[in-house]
Structure 1
Amino acid sequence: MTRLDELLYEMTRYDDKDVKRIQHFLKVHEFARLIGLEENLDPYTQEVLEAAAIVHDIGIHKAEEKYGRNTGKYQEMEGPGEARTMLTALSWPQEVIDRVCYLVGHHHTYDNIDGMDYQILVEADFLVNLFEDGSTPDTQKSVFERIFRTEGGKRLFRLMFESGEE
């Protein structure tokens, strides 16, 4: 079993029968993995991306406990500490932990995106959220124009949300 597989199991355990959130991170992870492969990320960046996709919403539970809600800003505040604890317990390399925690702490911030791992994580999260939130075609179009930059992300968006051929 790979480190990523162990992280998938640990995050599933962490979400403790919260099936909606488990399903969410699994979908975000798969879209992030697929886009990263299409964008030909180097193996290190691919692993960072996939780890961040798995734990990207880890701050939700703590945000709900502390603030009574789980807005993106609260997730960004509470997520890095939770991610660091989990990744450290699983003996991940410190440099990977640091970047994953940065991504978790910024994945709802859409200006100054620095790095393909960050860009792809944001795109993968939007692919899932646009569907899960029942967004309108106007919202989908706006998000596409503002956020999507990778060819893989654009392709998946078009396949999922636009009618007609790719």
Structure 2
Amino acid sequence: MTKQMWCCWAVTKELAMQCPGQDSRYWDANAVFEAICPKCGNSVEFFKDDVSRKCSTCGTRMLNPNNDFGCASYCPYAAQCLGSLPPELLAKKQELLKEQVAVEMKRYFGDDFRRIGHASRVARHALDIAAKEECNPAVVEITAYLHDIGIRESERKYNSSSPKYQHVEGPPVAREILTGLGAPQPLIDEVCDIIGHHHVPRPEETMNFKVLYDADLITNLEEKQKDVPSPPDHLQKIIDRSFLTKAGAALAAKTLFRS
């Protein structure tokens, strides 16, 4: 047996051991069944291990109604086991990843509740802005949780939380966290790129960056208002000249001027 053949055999055996429900050796008479297309009412035949099937009448893509693929939302081998994942499962994977990132951020900061609270507020504002702008909400929310993740290393190495040090120290920490969670490489690269300059916009920026930048700015202004309040006219000048998105400026006004 060649090395390549052995590797294929080992992967196949491992996947079969991980998920016996997908192994035809365990199937019974209910392994093939029919389901009704929700769009046109046509009968669609499913095999037990189908992730989805396309209706031959109207072309609607249907998930297998008799299978619970909840494991695919977190299993790193889901694509190998089930093939191309439908949008519903991809969305579940993203939701789970965002939750895991939030947990890892809190674990990393430990009892530093001020920074945990800051990151959580930035994430909340980022999602509010993202709902009104064309961006990738998953990238935006994950970056929001991790945008200041370099502060601890900056303070440890340089006794400073200066943005220039955060921009250097943040991406390696974020990359380690996201890699450990099995995040997709393109997402990891974009999140780390944003973290690496999140205080300093480039001449041309993505909407994902702009949404994160505005959410962070709103949170920083909120925190400053609690410590040293600024008059409304000064806040308005900041809103007029500093925000990168219309939705961010609108949210800033709503947040900072509410009674």
CA contact (8 A) 1:29 1:54 kept: yes
Secondary structure of 2:131's aligned partner: helix
Measured after TM superposition, the shift of residue 92 of structure 1 is 0.3
Query: Which residue in 2 is equivalent to 1:117?
Result: 208
Measured after TM superposition, the shift of residue 113 of structure 1 is 4.7
Measured after TM superposition, the shift of residue 72 of structure 1 is 1.1
Percent identical pairs in the alignment equals: 36
Measured after TM superposition, the shift of residue 163 of structure 1 is 6.3
**CA offset digits 1:83-139 (Å, max 9, x no partner):** 001000010000000000000001110342511110011100010001112352465
CA contact (8 A) 2:149 2:170 kept: yes
Q: Which runs of 5+ in 1 are unaligned?
A: none
Give the TM-score taking structure 2 as reference length: 0.59
Distance in 2 (CA, whole Å) between partners of 1:139 and 1:58 is 30
Which of 161, 172, 177 is equivalent to 1:70?
A: 161
Structure that is richer in helix per residue: 1
Measured after TM superposition, the shift of residue 40 of structure 1 is 4.1
Larger Rg, first or second structure (1 or 2): 2
Measured after TM superposition, the shift of residue 140 of structure 1 is 2.8
Query: Which residue in 2 is equivalent to 1:148?
Result: 243
Query: Which residue in 1 is equivalent to 2:217?
Result: 126
Query: Which residue in 1 is equivalent to 2:256?
Result: 161
Which of 120, 126, 132 is equivalent to 1:26?
A: 120
The one-letter amino acid paired with 1:136 is: S
After TM superposition, the structure 1 = structure 2 runs for residues 3-152 of structure 1, keeping only pairs within 5 Å, are 3-41=97-135, 45-134=136-225, 136-137=230-231, 140-152=235-247
Secondary structure of 1:63's aligned partner: helix
Q: Which runs of 5+ in 2 are unaligned?
A: 1-94
Cα–Cα, structure 1 residues 26 and 163, in superposed 2: closer, same or farther, change >3 Å?
A: closer
CA contact (8 A) 1:7 1:54 kept: yes
CA contact (8 A) 1:113 1:119 kept: no
CA contact (8 A) 1:110 1:147 kept: no
CA contact (8 A) 2:239 2:253 kept: no
**CA offset digits 1:31-57 (Å, max 9, x no partner):** 00111112143xxx2111111111000
Measured after TM superposition, the shift of residue 14 of structure 1 is 0.4
Runs of 4+ in 1 over 3 A off after TM superposition: none
Structure that is richer in strand per residue: 2
CA contact (8 A) 2:174 2:192 kept: yes
